[in-house]
Amino acid sequence: MPLSDLEISKDTLQTVVESGFDHVGRIAAIITSAGRDITRELGEWATDLFEMREAAARARADRAGAEDRAAAAAGKENP
């Protein structure tokens, strides 16, 4: 028995809707993955910034300590 025009239209519409949802799902997965990757990169960048700030603070402290030791040594040489 041949398919009616209504049944053919229903099958076509069903295929189009299923395909649309499939593509929307894939696009959503891409966007979700991209959002996760961007968040991870921003977090790693922030970690780098914190580490650089801490390294700079240690360098300033080391320099201040070296200057204090140099001043103390100069004071011992010139009583």
**Higher-confidence residue: 2 or 34?**
34
Closest to 18 in 3D by CA, of 10, 30, 29: 10
Residue 78 has pLDDT above 70, yes or no: no
Which sign does the torsion angle of CA 54, 56, 59, 65 carry?
negative
Q: What is the pLDDT of residues 16-64, one digit of tens each?
A: 999 999 999 999 999 999 999 999 999 999 999 999 999 999 999 999 9
The residue type of 18 is E
* Nearest-angstrom CA–CA distance, 57 and 49: 12
Average pLDDT over residues 55-77: 87
